[in-house]
Structure 1
């Protein structure tokens, strides 16, 4: 099978296409022919070697999010058949022609979603929904989302709005109209952020979710009274410094399925920036830049 690998830590151009042996589905597993795979900041960290707790074995595969078609069903698996369309999480092997996954972790792909849109939802849905649960965002409250135009921010804004919260979202000016379409009150990040948030949310801010880093936690502690209701998914050091939360709810096929159902019903949208697997270096460059809206995916 064709798969994206890297032989040393480094910039995006360490990635290359390689021929690897085809995997087979064992007991309790599905083999999926991948149609699209998400690219996320976690992948950048793995590729650059800045996540020492992730063990790499060169040539190392990459990718955590897949959408594709079941083409092999392992022994003892029920409820799945060859030809079923699925999506889900995996670990360091999604950007490949085939991926083998535990059957219980796969989520059925609705016909209303194409494969790139389905792959795009995998990590953002689980991260955003889990963070909102941990931070106990409720109807009538005001949530501040840092990096609201990114994939996690986009999902978090919409889930919070569906839950009845008011949402303030930080983004560059080019994405302010986009945030308005999601139902958020946009503000520009950077110097003066606290004052701009107070101007659009005079009622105050109850809870904050940081998907940006770069001083977002420092600004949030000036706006949110309860530091236990400030969470970050990207800045562990700032969380430790200010006594706020790191929110990592973990993977949940059930939570993923719930958001996927909302997307299939048109209640959640997530713009997709799709790259061919032959352009995987450009896809990683796009994610590493930290700019752009929505989600980067690689199509196979």
Structure 2
């Protein structure tokens, strides 16, 4: 099979697509032919070596967590799946950017027919991080909640989940995304210098919670705006989380199929939309990450092996 591999830490130029041995479904695993697999910012940190102290890497290394595809084979002891069935889920082995992947059966759920492959292959890392964030800040009907990076793959889902919970959402984003965020029911606010005053005005002087998907000082902003630390969650600033005692909860903290199934139902029912910013064939993996690294995408970027 063909798969993304890299032999050393580095920039995008270390990424290659190679012929490697097909994986085999071990006991408890399902072999999946991957039809779509999202890319995520954390993969940049792992590949560059910036996260080496947190996530060790053995070379050659694969990458990728999210996946959707069709069942090819079942390992011993696996029930509840049939050959050819469409599934979605995740792998903890960083190997989903490939044509085939062996996945624990308890990391997969059935793919609803209404979900495109691109959406199905994007359901775990970013949407579940948004799900975890909304749970962490305990958003309820009537709350006023700000979201940084609101047009991104995580932020856009957080906006919709917060609106679904009945909250008023202040969406921090660039002007080109304001109309779209307004169409999701949010109040768009320009990020950058003077944003504290703009958020106060948009929130009517009251801000109950803050979801930070971007980092770069937004936790400090939340505290400045009077949000209690227990009602702040960041996905991008561990230092600020430790400094202020705010949440640092993402997809890993709610990684189970019951939670994933609940989120999939919301998407299948149309209550939440997973925007797709672009899709690339596996051979163009470097181009896919170059677009991601520009940090101006609206939604998810997906590889199509």
Q: TM-score, normalised by structure 1?
A: 0.97
**What secondary structure is seen at the aligned counterpart in 1 of 2:192?**
coil
Which runs of 5 or more structure 2 residues have no equivalent in the other structure?
none
Shift of 1:263: 1.3
Distance 2:146 2:226 in 1: 9
1:192 aligns with 2:197: no
Question: Counterpart of 1:139?
Answer: 141
**Distance (whole Å) between structure 1 residues aligned to residue 181 and residue 89 of structure 2:** 27
Q: Report what 1:117 is aligned to.
A: 119
Structure 2 residue aligned with 1:285: 290
Q: Unaligned regions of 5+ residues in structure 1, if any?
A: none
Alpha-carbon offset, residue 286 of structure 1: 1.5
CA contact (8 A) 1:125 1:255 kept: no
How do residues 138-217 of structure 1 correspond to structure 2 at under 5 angstroms? 138-217=140-219
- Which residue pairs with 1:81 in the alignment? 82
Q: Distance in 2 between matches of 1:17 and 1:85?
A: 25
Whole-Å separation in 2 of the counterparts to 1:259 and 1:243: 27
Secondary structure of 1:245's counterpart equals: coil
Instruction: Determine helix, strand or coil for the equivalent of 1:127.
Output: helix
Report the secondary structure of 2:5's partner residue. strand
In structure 2, the residue matched to 1:268 is: 272
Contact 2:91 2:104 in 1 (8 A): no
Deviations along 1:93-143, whole A, 9 cap, x unmatched?
Answer: 000111111112101100011111111222122111111112111111011
Aligned residue pairs total 300
Does the 8 Å contact 2:210/2:227 carry over to 1?
Answer: no
- Return the alpha-carbon distance in structure 1 between the equivalents of residues 127 and 297 of structure 2: 18
- Equivalent residues of 1:275, 1:299 under 8 A apart: yes
Q: 2: distance between equivalents of 1:155 and 1:82?
A: 32
Find the aligned partners of 1:261 and 1:224 in 2 and give their Cα distance.
35
